[in-house]
Amino acid sequence: MQRANLIISKIINALQGPRWAFVLLILATAGPAFSQDNSPYSRYGIGDLVPPTNIINRSMGGLSAGYIDQLSINFNNPASYASFQAFQEKKSKKISSGRAILDFGLNFDNRTLREPSNAKKFTASNALFSYVQLGVPLKKNWGLSFGIRPVSRISYKIITRERLKDPGTGLPIDSASTLYQGNGGSYLISAGTGFGLFHREKYGMEEKLSIGFNGGYLFGEKDYSSRRALVNDTVSYFMTNYETRTNFGKLYFNAGLQYKLPLNKTMQLTIGAYGSWAQKLNGKQDRMRETFVFDDNAGNVRLDSVSDIRDVKGTIELPSNFTIGFVWQKFAVQNKEGGWMLGLDFNQQSWSKYRFYGQPDSLRNKWEIRAGVQLNPVPRRNYFSNISYRFGLILGPDYVKVGQKLPQFGGSFGLGLPMAVSRQAPNQATFINLAFEYIKRGNNDNLLRENLFRFSLGFSLSDIWFIKRKYE
């Protein structure tokens, strides 16, 4: 307990500077700046899956299994926490100081929907919080990280107009207008640790086998409704609402490992894997069947309850998933050589085993291939030689299957922009990370084609979070 209190107090002290306080204030009040999203495919499963990686990995196609960076947080693979930067005294081998990292990001999306047989299109844009993560080294080859991020998003609104017919005669009766609407999504609050099982020096670098674990609370809401109004010239009908609202949540876990192997003095290969097993979330569901009228001031006002059942307990079964991949990296040498990084990931998710209150959905098993490259020019005094240039590709079907499978293809480009070091704070390091993504979802065989342009803005802020005193 004493050591835990000491660690917490060190983190608090490290975040007392004005720059950290300003950033945390922004994050504490962050929410959707604007949102008019409309994605019909978010009706299925747990909704549209939010990009699960940080901005750096996102600009390289989501490459993350073997990715390690001492100035950002790879929260997908908790084994990477073992590589947080810590400094040891040569004689005692005790940690003398370490580098704390604050990593957060924002998304700006523009989505276009098209029907294959219709020239018209629908466009929607939104700005959303992406993630916030804090990482600190506890000892050499042992790190801790915690934060929050969205996992999925549900947002759609579809209006259909049709002519109702008498089932006996087939003659038209009335016209009907139906609004199908869905809202919600899910979030993950997590904390994890990673540590080295084996490490030794090779070619002046570190060869290391690391393992890590993330644990947290996954929670969310699914609110689906169908509101119908009958249109008749002589008879007035009340509108009806068929709505099901589900809240769910439970503890969630995943694990990962990485093996870092130096190949020579400037080159390194890292092999990594991470994943989670099938897990069940506890749910509570409200089922409402009612008639209502719309009031300009009060909104939808219930007139009569046909059926109102509250707190129906059930489970949401999430499938297992795993990712395996590698990163091959050459480090830049000041004024001599540039550096580069390239990698490949394979991801598998068994969504055919998803169950919502015991019922399957229109889902399929999902796989993805993620490829990424980072280029670093020869480091010199000019600013552009210190920028990281990143490229990525992603390929694989979406997990939604309505009729035909939903193919998906995407490309990405990004920049890592270093900020100038302040004389008052020489140990601070700040990077602005930009990612530009284009994702094409569906083709002419699907009911809807979807093109998504996403601009992501991320900040990686790091500082020495404590320095051991030499004199008392």
What's the pLDDT at 98? Answer: 80
Residues 163-182 have a mean pLDDT of 79
User: Cβ distance 244 to 224 under 8 Å?
Assistant: yes
User: Can you give the pLDDT at residue 1?
Assistant: 40
Q: Looking at the predicted structure, is the pLDDT value of residue 241 above 80?
A: yes
| 129, 458 contact by CB (below 8 A) | no
- Nearest C-alpha neighbor of 181 from the set 246, 242, 221, 226: 226
What pLDDT score was predicted for residue 345? 98
pLDDT exceeding 90 applies to what percent of the chain? Answer: 54
Phi, psi of 7 (to 5 degrees): -60, -45
- Stretch 34-59: mean pLDDT: 86
Residues 6+ apart with CB under 8 A from 175: 161, 162, 163, 164, 230, 231, 232
Residue that the structure tokens 């920028």 belong to: 387
Over residues 184-195, mean pLDDT: 95
Which pLDDT score, from 0 to 100, does residue 297 have? 67
Across 31-141, the runs of DSSP E, i.e. the strands, are: 34-35, 48-49, 86-88, 95-114, 121-139
Asked whether residue 346 carries a pLDDT value surpassing 90, the answer given is yes
pLDDT digits (tens, 9 = 90+) for 154-168: 998 888 887 777 777
pLDDT in tens, 247-288: 999 999 999 999 999 999 999 999 999 999 999 999 999 999
Strand pairing class (279-295; 239-262): antiparallel
Domains and CATH numbers, the chain: 34-467 (2.40.160)
pLDDT of residue 94: 62
Query: d(Cα 327, Cα 269) in Å, to the nearest integer?
Result: 6
Q: pLDDT confidence of 96, banded at 50, 70, 90?
A: low
Find the mean pLDDT for residues 116-130. 83
Least confident of 78-82, 126-130, 354-358: 126-130
Residue 22 clears pLDDT 70, i.e. is over it = no
pLDDT at residue 179 tops 60: yes
Q: Averaging pLDDT over each range in 18-32, 69-83, 88-102, 289-303, which range is the top one?
A: 69-83
The more confident residue out of 306 and 93 is 306
Indicate the SS3 state at residue 204: coil
Asked if the model's pLDDT at residue 331 lies above 80, the reply is yes
Using the predicted structure, report yes or no on whether residue 202 has a pLDDT greater than 70.
Answer: yes
pLDDT of residue 40: 86
| pLDDT > 50? residue 405 | yes
- Average model confidence (pLDDT) for the chain? 85
When pLDDT is averaged across residues 58-83 and rounded to a whole number, the result is: 95
pLDDT over 90 (residue 66): yes
Note whether 238 and 303 are within 8 A (CB): yes
**Average pLDDT of the residues in 77-102:** 78
**Does the pLDDT at position 188 exceed 90?**
yes
How confident is residue 170, by pLDDT bands cut at 50, 70 and 90? confident
